[in-house]
Copies of this chain bind each other. A is one copy, B any other.
Amino acid sequence: MTWQTYLREQQDRFLAELLDFLHIPSVSALPEHAGDVQRAAEWVAERMRTAGIESVQILPTGGHPVVYGDWLHAPGKPTVLIYGHFDTQPADPLELWEHPPFEPVVRDGRVYARGASDDKGNMLPPILAVEALLRTTGALPVNVRFLFEGQEEIGSPQIPAFVKAHREMLACDLVVSSDGGQWSETEPVILTGLRGGCGVQIDVRGPNRDLHSGIYGGAVQNPIHALASILASMRGADGRILVEGFYDAVQPLTDDERRRFASAPFDEAAYMADLGVTALWGEAGYTVYERTWARPTLEINGVWGGFQGEGVKTVLPAEAHAKITCRLVANQDPATIVELIKAHVQQHTPPGVTVAVTPLKFLAKPYLMPFDHPGNRAARDVLVHMYGREPYEVRSGGSIPICTILLDELGVYTVNFAFALEDERQHSPNEFFRLSSFRRGQEGYCLLLERLADVG
Contact = CB atoms under 8 A, between A and B. Distances in A.
Contact of A216 (B197, B214, B237, B275): B275
Contacts of A299: 213, 217, 222, 225, 314, 316
Q: How many copies of the shown chain assemble into the complex?
A: 2
A214 B401 CA distance: 13
Contacts of A276: 207-209
Given A199-B314, A207-B275, 18 more contacts: A195-B214, A199-B312, A211-B275, A213-B327, A214-B396, A215-B396, A215-B398, A216-B397, A219-B292, A221-B281, A228-B300, A228-B303, A232-B232, A232-B233, A277-B352, A301-B314, A314-B325, A314-B362
A429 to B, nearest CB: 16
Contacts of A224: 231, 300-303, 322
A295 interface: yes
Interface in A253-297: 271, 275-283, 286, 288, 291-292, 295, 297
Central interface residue in A207, A279, A303, by most chain B CB within 10 Å: A303
Contacts of A302: 224, 305-309, 313, 315, 317
Nearest to A275: B207
A106 interface: no
Contacts of A301: 213, 224, 306-307, 312-317
A356 interface: no
B217 A397 contact: yes
A325 B231 CA distance: 21
A151 interface: no
Nearest to A400: B214
Contact of A214 (B282, B283, B351, B399): B399
A220 interface: yes
Interface of A: 195, 197, 199, 206-209, 211-222, 224-225, 227-229, 231-233, 235, 237, 271, 275-283, 286, 288, 291-292, 295, 297, 299-309, 311-317, 320-323, 325, 327, 350-354, 360-362, 396-399
A360 B309 CA distance: 12
Nearest to A318: B276
Nearest to A206: B277
A228 B225 contact: no
Contact of A325 (B213, B215, B279): B213
Contacts of A216: 275, 292, 397
A217 B214 CA distance: 39
A11 B220 CA distance: 44
B311 A352 contact: no
A306 to B, nearest CB: 4
A132 B323 CA distance: 65
A280 B219 contact: yes
B211 A197 contact: no
A214 B279 contact: no
List the 7 closest A-B pairs by CB distance, nearest first: A208-B276, A214-B398, A232-B232, A218-B291, A302-B306, A281-B352, A228-B231
Contacts of A399: 214
Nearest to A196: B214
Contacts of A233: 232
Contacts of A232: 225, 228-229, 231-233
Contacts of A209: 275-276
A68 B316 CA distance: 38
Contacts of A215: 292, 396-398
Contacts of A311: 360-361
B281 A220 contact: yes
Given A302-B308, A360-B311, A275 B317 contact: no
Given A282-B220, A302-B313, A214 B229 contact: no
Nearest to A286: B218
A299 B313 CA distance: 11
A235 to B, nearest CB: 6
Query: Which of A237, A291, A316, A352 has the most B CB atoms < 10 Å from its CB?
Result: A352
